[in-house]
Structure formats: C-alpha cells, structure tokens
Amino acid sequence: MKRMTRTTMALILLALVIFESCKQQKVIALPQERPNILLLFLDDMDPDFGCYGNTLTTTPNIDQLAKEGVLFTRAYATAPVCSPSHTSILTGCYSTSIGASNHRSSYIDKLPEGYTILTELMSRANYFTVNFKSNGDRMFNKIYGASAKTDLNFDRGEPENNGESGKEVFDYLQIIDPMNIATYFKGGEWDKKGAGQPFFAYANIETAKKHGFEPGRIWAKERGIAVDSTRVEIPQHYADTDEVRHVLASSLDAVSHADFEVGKFLNALEKSGYAKNTLVILLSDHGATLQRHKQCLWQSGIHVPLILRWPGHIEDSWTNTELASIIDIAPTILSAAKIPVPQTMEGLNLLGDALETRNYVFATRDGMNNFFDASRTVITKDYQYIHHFFPELPFRSNPYAKRTLTFESMLELYKGDKLDTLQALYFEPEKVPYELYDLKKDGEETKNIAFNPEYQEEVKKMQEILFEWQKRTGDSILDARKLLNVPTVPINTQVDDLLKLNSK
C-alpha cells in the first residue's frame, strides 16, 4: 500500500477539520448553486407552536418545518411594534441606528449614506425579488394568504398595497389566490422570472393578528380543533376573567389558522419543485396583539419564533439556544446567496458560528402611533434589563394600547383596586425607572429585582452595556422635557411636534 504524500495528508486533515466545524455548527458545507429565499413573516406572533411547547395550538406545518431545519429558542425582535421591526429585518440594523425608530409618525426620506435595503442588494445580484399579495379586499388579504405589507420607516412614498405599506421595495408583486396554491409560484408576475434565476420571495402573513382572532375561532371550530378556553393557562400578569380566557383561546386558534396559511406556501413551494434549493425563514416581528405583549419590551413583547430550513445545508431537527435577533435575517440571506454583507449591517449570520460569541441583544420602544415615549432593553443569556427614560409616561400612553390591547375586564378590576401588583402594573399612571429580571429563575418576568440590594452590581453592569451601545450606535433620544420646558412629559405628546421643536 502506497504511503500518502504530505499534501494528501494535509488535504485529508483539512477536510476533517471542515467536517468537524460543520458538525458543531449543524451546517452542511456542500457547494451548490445560489439558493432561492422564501421569507415567511408572521405579523404579531408569539412562539405559540407545538415545536415551541404549546400543546393547545394545532401547528403541523410549522412543526414539520422545525423538524426539517433549525429552531431558535432565544430570538428577539428589535422593537415591540411593526414598522421599526420591519425596518430592521430589511436593513439588518437596529432602527435607532438609522434614525427610524418611531412607529406611525415621521419617516426618514431615505436611508443614511452607506446603508442599503436587502431587496436592492438581492436585485443587483440578479435575484428575482417578489412580494405576495392575496386577491380580494384588504381584510381578506389580512386573514388569508398574504397582505404584501412592508411597513418600512423610510422612503415610504405612496402606499401601493394597503395603508400599512410603504414604497414597493420588491421588483414584482405576485397576486395569489389563497384557495388555489397553483397561483403562488406560477403565472402572473412570476412568469417574468428568468430561467434558472434565483428568487427572493416575501410573504407577510397577518392571519394571527387581532383582526384574525374571531375568524380564527370560527375556522378552528369548523375543523374541530378550537382551543377549550377552560384549558388555557392564564399568565400571572393577567386576571382570570371570561374575557381574558376567550381572547387568549381565540388568539391561539388564530395561530392554528396562521399555520394553515403557512402550509399553503410550503406545499406550493414543494409542488413547484423549488423546495430542495430554497432557504425558508419563518419569523415574527414582535409579540401577539395582546396586553403586555405588543408595544412592550418584556419577553412577551419581543421574544419571537425563528425557524430556518435549507435542505442539504442545515441538518434536520436541531435547536439553537444562542441569542439571535431579527437584525440577523438580512446578513444570513446575503451570506447564503454569496453576496457581500455591507459593513453597516449590525446583524450576524445565523448559519455561522458568530452567535456563540454574542453576549447581548437590544430592543427599543419609541413613539407609538406618533405618541412619544422612549425605553430601551438589553438582554443577556441570564438577565433582561429595561430602562424607561420617561417613567412619567404609562405603558398605555397611546390610543392603540387603550383601544386594541387592553383587557376591559382587567381595567374595571384595576379601577376597583382588585388586581394584584403584577396585574396592575400595565394600568399604572407611571412606569418604574428601570427593571431587571433573572430569566433563568423567572422566565415570565413576574418579579422586578432591579431595586434588590443583591442585584445592584448587575443593574450597574447592564446600564453600562446599554449606554455604551447607545453611544456607539448613535441612538439619540429626544430630550422631551427640555424641548417642552416641563418637569414631566404630558401623555399626549406627539413625536412630530417634538421633532419640529428640535429642528428650530
């Protein structure tokens, strides 16, 4: 038997090193043509799927997706409301870094110099970029198929899809019939895709938002899978009322309904023949349309589902427990597509090993529907710290929170002084200046330990991390008290009014 040359031995050792590295990362290094990308974006969605441990919802399609790829258990939104998070996903940046963190108020005309939107980079690399929109009226789009919502905080232009969309940043808009999945990846604008041209497709699915709760309830009852409201486990921060049980059960039925809509896209992808070379990414922008979830920086507001599947590149059925953020979506897509990642992008490649070195992620709460506020949070593997820069402003400081998110039965109990301290927190006229939670001991964040003498070093450490990040990324918060010349900021203060004062 011939002895191996030094070159041969070196090549074998190199191959073993690469194999072991890929094994640890659960990513299979196989050279293939550039992949297609399908981004399934679920608006207002907690990780309430079977694969995340929820036993009441019926989510076979999303559960199967997780079995065929990687499920992230510590993924976070960058904001607890739509437009800043949408902006982060398509720019790979915190919205504060580009000066576009306020929701439904002033929008920046364009991205700062050096920053680029994901769709533009994909289009330049000859990707067929396409957004999906269901046929029918606006509410039909919001419940079935996809709504084509982009909701960016920059370069919005005239709404082209619905009242929540900005400038159409995709090259094509595919009109689909949710009752016929043959229309998803064939016909219409799709036929303009070149032979062999890879695609970047985006489906914004709003099925499980508040407007989908009651339709979801009806849909689930028709199929015999409706959640029994008596079996719903009531979180400690909610009072156990008939309204709370009904809304929570309906919200879970809407999750099951959303899974059904996700299944249509996955089935259509399979039937089209694209599935084998498509990286599928499923995630949400923030928590459910519920009190203490949407618009709030607690775990319930920013902990989101995140699942990736890429046949031949990602091993089946594994779990990633590292800290992940939705700012990682754009760099991950670009890396998979072999497109250089701009240095201005702050996210990491989810399929690399960089997550293992990440020690914290951030999220921000600013203006909500043009009503001013400013809070920040930093999350590590053990703790979450929340800093409220204007504690005089309550959590329910905007009409949307009062109208859409509030449980009326709990509000009445609050007025009658019948809620415990944790349950009453959301209704109080002021916030505490800051909060700290031990995520390993108190995952539901029921006890704020920020003022416990034993945790003062941790509070100081988290504050230093947060303030250094703000300074490094240019996160500038309007000094509303100084601009208004008041000791405390009034509840109805408008972001746009402060910006005008600041510009003088």
Q: What is the pLDDT of residue 441?
A: 97
Kindly state whether residues 301 and 238 are assigned to the same domain.
yes
Q: What is the pLDDT of residue 454?
A: 97
Q: What is the pLDDT of residue 105?
A: 79
CA distance 64 to 316: 10
Mean model confidence pLDDT for the chain: 91
pLDDT tens figures, 474-502: 999 999 999 999 999 999 999 999 999 99
Kindly state whether residues 96 and 200 are assigned to the same domain.
yes
pTM: 0.92
Q: Domain holding 200: CATH number?
A: 3.40.720.10
Structure tokens at 248: 């929570």
Whether 199 contacts 37, CB under 8 Å = yes
Nearest to 369 by CA among 76, 149, 163, 191: 163
Kindly state whether residues 396 and 478 are assigned to the same domain.
yes
Kindly state whether residues 242 and 298 are assigned to the same domain.
yes
Domain that holds residue 119: 33-352
Q: Is the pLDDT of residue 159 over 70?
A: no
CA distance 114 to 26: 33
Whether 62 contacts 205, CB under 8 Å = no
CB atoms within 10 A of CB 270: 14
Kindly state whether residues 60 and 105 are assigned to the same domain.
yes
Kindly state whether residues 198 and 325 are assigned to the same domain.
yes
Q: What is the pLDDT of residue 303?
A: 98
Looking at residue 436, the DSSP 8-state letter turns out to be: E
In a domain, 26, yes or no: no
CA distance 118 to 90: 5
What does the chain come to in residues?
A: 504
Q: Is the pLDDT of residue 66 over 60?
A: yes
pLDDT tens figures, 3-59: 333 433 444 344 444 444 444 445 444 345 899 999 999 999 999 999 999 999 999
- Residue 127 CB partners (closer than 8 Å, separation 6+): 37, 197, 198, 199, 200, 337
Q: Is the pLDDT of residue 127 over 60?
A: yes
Structure tokens at 227: 């959640």
Q: How confident is the model at residue 109 (pLDDT cuts 50, 70, 90)?
A: confident
Cα angle for residues 484, 490, 496 (degrees, 5° grid):
60
- Number of helices and strands (H, E) in the chain? 15, 12
Kindly state whether residues 219 and 317 are assigned to the same domain.
yes
Domain count across the chain: 2
What does the buried/exposed string (b/e) look like for 159-168 if buried means 16 or more CB atoms within 10 Å of the residue's CB? ebbbebbbeb
Element holding 40 (H helix, E strand):
strand 36-42
What backbone phi and psi angles, to 5 degrees, belong to 17?
-65, -45
What does the buried/exposed string (b/e) look like for 175-185 if buried means 16 or more CB atoms within 10 Å of the residue's CB? bbbbeebebbb
Q: Which amino acid belongs to residue 297?
A: L
